[in-house]
Amino acid sequence: MKPQEEEAKKRGDETARQDSSEIPALLVNTTQLPQTIISQAQVRQLSPSALAYLGDSIYELYVRMFFLLPQQRPEIYHSLVVAQVRAETQALHLRSLTPELRSNELEIVRRGRNAATSRPKRLNPEIYQQATSLETLVGYLYLTDYPRLMELLQKLHLEK
């Protein structure tokens, strides 16, 4: 093996041992929204459902990146992520974050809760409302205060 290949292999092994605390930095580099795409006025016009739609994808991307290392088989990734993105877990995460939220964030959570009208039959309506509230908050903060979003997501109790 050439010295350059050996060095690349060593770097790859070191990368595999990355700490999960580096995941938010990866998310910043890959998903930070340029402010020129959507204005603050446009954000205010978005419905809580639209914010929840966006927040659902951002939240799932964060969870997927959290579980990316160490490498797993795809079915293991899937089961780990599904356990975290289900409504019951999202509701728990919202309850754990609530004491940390600012007044404007609590208002977004309230709007998200009130926007959750339909739900899957298997779910308690309160759980579904809380999950939708978390997604609404994530969508809102993604568009308005990305550093604050990362601060809150890092406080979630995701376990490998």
Return the structure tokens found at 149: 């979003």
Give the contacts of 147 (CB within 8 A, at least 6 positions apart): none
CA distance 25 to 17: 16
CA distance 121 to 128: 10
The residue from 13, 19, 56, 145 that is catalytic is 56
Listed residue (21, 43, 155) closest to 134, CA to CA: 155
Helix 87-97, helix 125-144: angle, nearest 10: 60
19 catalytic, yes or no? no
Task: Report the amino acid identity of residue 59.
Answer: Y
**Would you name the residues annotated as active-site residues?**
56
